[in-house]
Amino acid sequence: MTLTSIDPSLLLSNQNTATGTRTGSKTLDKDAFLKILIAQLQNQDPTKPMDDTQFVSQMAQFSSLEQMTNLKNDIDNLIKLSQQSQQIAYTQYIGRTVSWEKTETADDGTASVKSGTGTITGISFGDDNAVTFTLDDGTKISSSDMRGINSNTSKEAALIQASHLIGKKVAYTNDAGKEETASVSAVAIQNGSLVFTLDNGQKAASRQLTKIAN
């Protein structure tokens, strides 16, 4: 009996070499889980359909996976809103005079304590949402370095910082207590407080802002 030889090009190892090994995500999301379940139902043996208990168990797993995914999205949105609210709150420090004290370490490992006072002219946020305050003399401090905050404010510095919101879309609470969205078209100081003029003709104080869009 003559045996027919197998074409080497049909071997799986050669197929991977010729066409490239396919790679995909190692994470099974709810969409992939549902596709697998549908494919399993479509290709099951009609004479031996999937057991009801097994099907219910898989649907329960899918429902649990979907709920976990939605929960993660809700938590991410909550964290983002919390960070935005924190950023809005920190803008109230613009123009404030603060006293500070921090420990700095030299290249030789010697530590020294430095202190001073200055007016906050800028605020920046790191990837971990850590806030850094820039003073009028160029000194950069963190919130933990602050030792006191004076009540006097620099209206010019506050106005300059607030002007960065011009053209940005913001959410705010109107006088009726309902949340609306609009873009900032102008900024002014009235009675010692920042007032934002919006493109819908309304005006909102800084305390009324609830969200700043990217």
Place of tokens 């921090």: 102
Give the whole-number percent of the chain exceeding pLDDT 90.
Answer: 10
Residue 1: pLDDT band by 50, 70, 90 thresholds? very low
What is the mean predicted confidence (pLDDT) over 137-162?
78
**Owner of token pair 């099974």:** 28
More confident residue, 196 or 41: 196
Structure confidence by residue, pLDDT tens digits, 165-214: 888 888 898 888 898 999 999 988 887 778 899 999 999 988 888 887 75
For 187-206, the DSSP string reads EEEETTEEEEEETTS-EEEG
Per-residue confidence (pLDDT) for residue 151, from 0 to 100: 58
Tell me the residue type at 186: A
First to last CA, the chain: 75
Whether the pLDDT of residue 27 is over 70: the answer is no
The predicted structure's pLDDT at residue 185: 92
**DSSP string over 127-191:** TT--EEEEETTS-EEEGGGEEEEEEEE-HHHHHHHHGGGTT-EEEEE-TTS-EEEEEEEEEEEET
pLDDT band at 29 (very low <50, low <70, confident <90, very high): low
Which residues fall within 8 angstroms of residue 143, CB to CB, at 6 or more apart?
131, 133
Is pLDDT at 110 greater than 90 in this prediction?
A: no
Higher pLDDT, 156 or 172: 172
Q: What is the mean pLDDT of residues 43-70?
A: 70
Mean of pLDDT values over 28-33: 64
Q: Which residue has the higher pLDDT, 28 or 113?
A: 113
Whether 141 contacts 87, CB under 8 Å: no
How high does pLDDT run on average in the chain?
A: 75
Percent of the chain, pLDDT > 70? Answer: 68
Bigger pLDDT: 21 or 201? 201
Q: Are 132 and 126 in contact (CB under 8 A)?
A: yes
pTM: 0.38
Region class of 3: left (phi > 0), else alpha (psi between -120 and 50), else beta = beta
pLDDT higher at 88 or 1? 88
**Range in 11-25, 57-71, 148-162 with the lowest mean pLDDT:** 11-25
